[in-house]
Structure 1
C-alpha cells in the first residue's frame, strides 16, 4: 500500500520549497496542521524543533527532516541542564517557553507559545494572578516586559537572524526614503528596533498586515524578519514597495542559514524516504512536551475561533 506523504513548509523556506508543500504557514499553523494530518509520513521543510513538534503532536506519523543541520540558534544557545536549574530557582512561577525550543526544553515548560499567541497567553496568565518566567528568546521577552509592564525573568538566547537588525542602519534607511516609510517587525528583533515599529507580530501577522495595507501605494514598507516572507508578501501585494529591514551598512540580506538547508533536492529526497527521521524522542519526553503544547493549541483554538 502506498504511504501518504504530507509535506509542510515554513514561510522562511525558499519559494520553490513552498511550491512543493501541501501546507505553508507559520509555527502555529503548521503545528495545528501536523496534529490533524492524516499522514503516514510528514516531511517538514523547516528546522528541527518544528519537526520534533510535529512528531510530538502526531506520534503515529513518521516525521522526516530534509537536512540534519537545520537547527535554530535559540536551541543551540540553550543548555538544558542550566535551563532546568534556572526554572527550579523560580518554583512559584509559570514557565512559558517559545515554540522555538527543543523537545527537552518544552518538557520543562508549563506553556508553549508562538509569536502569534504569546501576548494573549501571557496576558491570560497574569490575569489569573500568576507569575511568569519566559524562555528562550531574550528579545521577545524584553519586548513583552517593555510593552506590557511585566517583570518576567528572562532566559538569555536570541535568534541569530533577527538579532542582527540594527537601529542605526534602520535610521539611515528610513532617512533615505523621500516619501512615507513604514516598519513592521517580528518580536524576535532587538528592542530598539521593535520600539520603532508600527506593527510587531508573528510571521503570519505581518503577512496579514501587508495584505490589508491601505496607505500610500508609493510608501516603502521595511520588514524586520527573515527574508523568506518577502516572497509571500510580494505574491499577495505586488503593488507595494517591500524591503527587508537593514542589518548593517544598509545591507538587506538577512536569511536564516538553517531554513535555507531545505533545498529542493533535500526535500525531494525526504519525500522519497531519505532524510533525518525524528525517532529519537522517548515516549516520556514526548508526553512531557506534549502537555504544554496542547495547552497552547487548545487556548488558541478557543481564543481565535
Structure 2
C-alpha cells in the first residue's frame, strides 16, 4: 500500500518550491494543516521549528525536513537554560512565546502565538487580568508594548532577516518617489520601521492587504519582510508596483538564508524519504510543547471562524 506524502511550503520559500507543495501558507495555516492532514509522511519545506511543530501536532506522521541547516536566528539566539531561568524569575506571569521557537522553548511556554494572532491572544490575556512575558522576538514584543501600552518583559532575540530593515533606508527610498507610496511590514521588523508602516501584520495579513488594495493605482508599495512573499503578492496583483523594502541604501535583496536551503533537489529527496527526520523529540517533550500550541489553535478556531 502506497504511503501518502504531503508537502508543505512556507511563503518564504522560492516560487518553484511553492509549486511543488500540496499546501502553501504562513505558520498558522501550516500548523492547522499539519494537524488535520491525513498524511503518512509530511515533507516540510520551511525551517526546523516548523517541522517540529508539525511532528508535535501530528505525532503519528513521519516528518522530514529537506535540509539540516534550515534553522532560525530566533532559535539559535535563545539558550533554553537561560530562558528557563528568565521565565522562573517571573512566577506570576503568563509566558507567551512566538511560534518561531524550538520544541524545548515551546515546552517552557503557556501560550504559543503566530504573527497573525499575537495581538488578539495577548489582548485576551490582559483582559483576563494576567501579566505577560514575551519571547523570543524582541522586535515583535517592543511593537506590542508600544502599540498597546503593555509592559511585557521581553526576551532578546531577533529575526536576522527582518532586523535588517531600517528607517534611514526607508526614508531615502520614500524621498526618491514623488507620488504615492505605502509601507506594509511584518512585526518582526524593528520598531522605527513599524512606526512608519501603513499596515503591520502577518505574512498572510500582508498578502490579504495587497489583494484588497484599492487606493492610488500608481503607488509604490514597499514590503518589509522576506522576499519570498513578493511572488504571491505579484501573482495576486500584477497591476501593482510592489517592492521589497530596502535594508540599506540601494539594496532590496533581503532573503532568509535558511528558507532558501529548500532547493528543488532537497525537497525531491525528502519526498523520496531522505532528509532530516524529526524523530528526536520525546513523548514528554511533545506533550509539554503541544499544550500551549493547542491553546493557540483552539483560540484561533473560536476567534477567526
Check whether TM > 0.5.
Answer: yes
Tell me the alpha carbon deviations over residues 239-276 of structure 1, each in whole angstroms, 9 at most, x when there is no partner.
00000000011210000000000000000000001000
For 1:171 and 1:115, the matched residues in 2 are separated by 25
Cα deviation, residue 293, structure 1: 0.1
For 2:112 and 2:250, the matched residues in 1 are separated by 35
Tell me the alpha carbon deviations over residues 80-104 of structure 1, each in whole angstroms, 9 at most, x when there is no partner.
0000000000000000000000000
In structure 2, the residue matched to 1:251 is 251
In structure 1, the residue matched to 2:54 is 54
In structure 2, the residue matched to 1:32 is 32
In structure 2, the residue matched to 1:196 is 196
Tell me the alpha carbon deviations over residues 94-136 of structure 1, each in whole angstroms, 9 at most, x when there is no partner.
0000000000000000000000000000000000000000000
For 1:12 and 1:141, the matched residues in 2 are separated by 22
Structure 1 outlier segments of 4+, above 3 Å: none
For 2:197 and 2:297, the matched residues in 1 are separated by 28
Indicate conservation of the 8 Å contact 1:46/1:70, yes or no.
yes
For 1:250 and 1:140, the matched residues in 2 are separated by 26
In structure 2, the residue matched to 1:80 is 80
Secondary structure at the aligned position of 2:43 is classed as strand
Per the normalisation by structure 1, the TM-score is: 1.00
1:69 and 2:69 equivalent? yes
1:20 and 2:20 equivalent? yes
Per the normalisation by structure 2, the TM-score is: 1.00
Secondary structure at the aligned position of 1:8 is classed as strand
In structure 2, the residue matched to 1:110 is 110
In structure 2, the residue matched to 1:101 is 101
1:89 and 2:123 equivalent? no
For 1:9 and 1:151, the matched residues in 2 are separated by 35
For 2:131 and 2:250, the matched residues in 1 are separated by 41
Q: Which runs of no fewer than 5 residues in structure 1 stay unpaired?
A: none
For 2:191 and 2:210, the matched residues in 1 are separated by 22
For 2:250 and 2:229, the matched residues in 1 are separated by 19
Q: Which runs of no fewer than 5 residues in structure 2 stay unpaired?
A: none
Indicate conservation of the 8 Å contact 1:172/1:250, yes or no.
no
Question: How many residue pairs get matched?
Answer: 305
